[in-house]
Structure 1
């Protein structure tokens, strides 16, 4: 059974050496990494395809990291996007300012790479819990990403890799309506072209497996929008 789709981290850092070091370590931790060298580029990338988390340097030319964070948190579509702010400004007042702007966490430079990775894992527990090994449960459905075991009403279910990742996506955000395009990005990956109708086929297969235990269909079709769990 395939693993849960990897989390995507947008790294925004204008200093090349810092950007390369962080990107290398993030990839070594198993994240998909996309990079931006300035605030304007970062905002454009988020608007095109939102990542799972943003690592954002404060001090950048033109549009500062602080302003990028403010704009992200002001928009409904990106309000819940976790932002980890990195800054050479280590005064308490600066940290408070960063957090009040909406940053979810703040690390002062020079930083420990181990600390940055730990902060990222902590933030992802909120939005991508399966990625960090957290058991996902909703009603009588349980998915354990460490063992790749899925059960419903204590009955073990055999899911194909795509259906497994699809279920994990639904379980991470119960109630959220996912469009077909969003599910394609999360389950199949950003660089793979798949027709949106493929999503309907795999949702149908997932429903069939979940229904074998005799329970009601937990996946809701939202006409014109997509699918949601519950």
Structure 2
């Protein structure tokens, strides 16, 4: 089963993500801060990171940059979730090394589809 680390500080959205990704066949580890996401990256392999851009302790962009700097997670897909839709925000996300940038609100079905596409491109099979 493929493991996804979700870093989202909104408990309702975090629960929705865990539920929908679990339904899609993924093992999900959910955390509320960027540091917790980085800690998860060190403790067990994840096939994808799903990061809110506005976390309480650091931005999702900072977490993404740290993941890209680490040998173990350099090539792991990272998806940023955000309500920021300006081109400069998108460019900042891409500059941090994000694989994809998804705007809130989003369709859970679309999110799962985009995750499956990223995992397939990375050589990972779907969680099912």
Global fold match (TM > 0.5): yes
Structure 1 partner of 2:10: 15
Residue 131 of structure 1 and its aligned partner are, at CA, apart by 2.7
Cα distance in 2 between the residues matched to 1:30 and 1:132: 5
Residue 128 of structure 1 and its aligned partner are, at CA, apart by 4.3
Structure 2 partner of 1:94: 89
Residue 76 of structure 1 and its aligned partner are, at CA, apart by 1.8
Cα distance in 2 between the residues matched to 1:111 and 1:53: 18
Residue 129 of structure 1 and its aligned partner are, at CA, apart by 3.4
SS of the residue 2:125 aligns to: helix
1:125 aligns with 2:120: yes
CA distances 1:148-198 after superposition (whole Å, capped 9, x unpaired): xxxxxxxxxxxxxxxxxxxxxxxxxxxxxxxxxxxxxxxxxxxxxxxxxxx
Query: Where do 5+ consecutive residues of structure 2 fail to align?
Result: none
Structure 1 partner of 2:37: 42
Alignment equivalent of 2:73, drawn from 59, 69, 78: 78
Cα distance in 2 between the residues matched to 1:13 and 1:52: 17
Q: How does 1:112-151 map to 2 (within 5 A)?
A: 112-131=107-126
Structure 2 partner of 1:62: 57
Cα distance in 1 between the residues matched to 2:88 and 2:11: 28
Structure 1 partner of 2:26: 31
Residue 58 of structure 1 and its aligned partner are, at CA, apart by 0.3
CA contact (8 A) 1:54 1:84 kept: yes
Cα distance in 2 between the residues matched to 1:115 and 1:99: 20
Residue 75 of structure 1 and its aligned partner are, at CA, apart by 1.5
SS of the residue 2:117 aligns to: helix
Residue 48 of structure 1 and its aligned partner are, at CA, apart by 0.9
Query: Where do 5+ consecutive residues of structure 1 fail to align?
Result: 1-5, 134-230
SS of the residue 1:84 aligns to: strand
CA distances 1:103-146 after superposition (whole Å, capped 9, x unpaired): 0000011111121111100111023433379xxxxxxxxxxxxx
Count of residues in correspondence between the two structures = 128
Cα distance in 1 between the residues matched to 2:57 and 2:114: 27
Runs of at least 4 residues of structure 1 off by over 4 A? none
TM-score by length of 2: 0.94
Cα distance in 2 between the residues matched to 1:50 and 1:64: 22
CA contact (8 A) 2:2 2:127 kept: no
